[in-house]
């Protein structure tokens, strides 16, 4: 996979899968723009990219803000002239509670980041790609966009919506040379996953981690780098006729029906 001369834009690039994707793009020759609502985290990722020998730019943005999204798109084009790869990755997990007890404000917050944020990214990046004659987008969905997880109604609903956006947008822009796919991770070994486990089992998060890992057919969580490898494949010429698809990276979780235990 050779991304020399290409520009990759990654939201949620300050940590986890987003940071791993930025580092992977850098190793394969791309200039990288990392977007995150945490400016310090975004700059830390950008520094990792520079250490890998690639050009980097960090942009602080709230993906739920149309003005901020337009600004990160405009900044990328002004700095590098184009957007070849867009990893529409920013997202939050929300609280864990049964549907009948789920806080309305928390539900709206999850949908704002995970759905509206993804929509706005597509809304303002796609015209750039169409005008330049092509590009590749990967939306970060989840196995929660394919199967249910009790206690995570907002997250599940939002990731189902991301897959719907992926399919719809992919069909709309395929003839303009733009490909749009989704990656669907299962549990990933990230700080966000550890925070979720602490929320579910505050008295024994380590025990919950051990049970969750044991429930995986592979016996472990995916690493951010393993998910990033699939993201790069979908952005590369190796996937030149792949669009509107969902690629699962979950250690067999969805194939066997295992689920992360949650309250509710």
Segment-wise mean pLDDT, segments of 10 residues, the chain, 264 residues: 96 97 98 98 98 97 98 98 98 93 97 98 98 98 91 95 98 98 89 72 70 79 93 98 96 73 41
State the span(s) of the chain assigned CATH 3.40.50.720.
7-186+223-249
Q: Is there a catalytic annotation at residue 247?
A: no
Phi, psi of 203 (to 5 degrees): -85, -20
Q: Are 24 and 17 in contact (CB under 8 A)?
A: no
Q: Which residue among 72, 124, 155, 247 is the active-site one?
A: 155
pLDDT in the model for residue 200: 67
Q: In what order do the strands lie in the sheet with 85-88?
A: 56-60, 31-36, 7-11, 85-88, 135-140, 178-185, 246-249
| CA dihedral of residues 42, 45, 50, 52 (deg, nearest 10) | -160
Q: What is the pLDDT of residue 261?
A: 42
CB count within 10 Å of CB 160 equals: 18
Total-model pTM: 0.92
Q: How far apart are CA 47 and CA 57, in angstroms?
A: 9
| 248, 63, 169, 186 alpha-carbon torsion, rounded to 10° | 10
pLDDT score of 188: 80
Among 3.10.310.70, 1.10.287.130, 3.40.50.300, 3.40.50.720, name the CATH number for the domain at 7-186+223-249.
3.40.50.720
């Amino acid at each position: 996979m050779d991304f020399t001369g290409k520009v990759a834009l990654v939201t949620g690039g300050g940590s986890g899968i987003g940071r791993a994707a930025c580092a992977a793009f850098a190793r394969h020759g791309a200039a990288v723009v990392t977007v995150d609502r945490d400016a310090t985290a975004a700059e830390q990722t950008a520094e990792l990219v520079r250490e890998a020998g690639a050009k980097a730019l960090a942009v602080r943005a709230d993906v739920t803000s149309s003005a901020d999204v337009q600004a990160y798109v405009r900044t990328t084009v002004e700095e590098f002239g184009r957007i070849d790869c867009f990893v529409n990755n920013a997202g939050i997990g929300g609280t864990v509670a049964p549907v009948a007890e789920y806080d309305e404000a928390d539900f709206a917050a999850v949908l704002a980041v995970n759905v509206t944020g993804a929509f706005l990214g597509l809304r303002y990046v796609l015209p750039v790609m169409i005008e330049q004659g092509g590009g590749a987008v990967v939306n970060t969905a989840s196995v929660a966009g394919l199967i249910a997880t009790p206690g995570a109604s907002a997250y599940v609903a939002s990731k189902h919506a991301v897959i719907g956006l992926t399919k719809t947008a992919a069909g709309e822009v395929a003839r303009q040379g733009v490909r749009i796919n989704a990656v669907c991770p299962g549990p990933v070994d990230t700080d966000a996953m550890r925070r979720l486990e602490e929320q579910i089992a505050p008295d024994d998060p380590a025990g919950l981690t051990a049970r969750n890992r044991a429930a995986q057919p592979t016996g472990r969580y995916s690493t951010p780098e393993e998910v990033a490898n699939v993201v790069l494949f979908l952005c590369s010429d190796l996937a030149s006729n792949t669009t509107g698809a969902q690629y699962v990276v979950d250690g067999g979780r969805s194939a066997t029906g295992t689920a992360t235990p949650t309250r509710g």
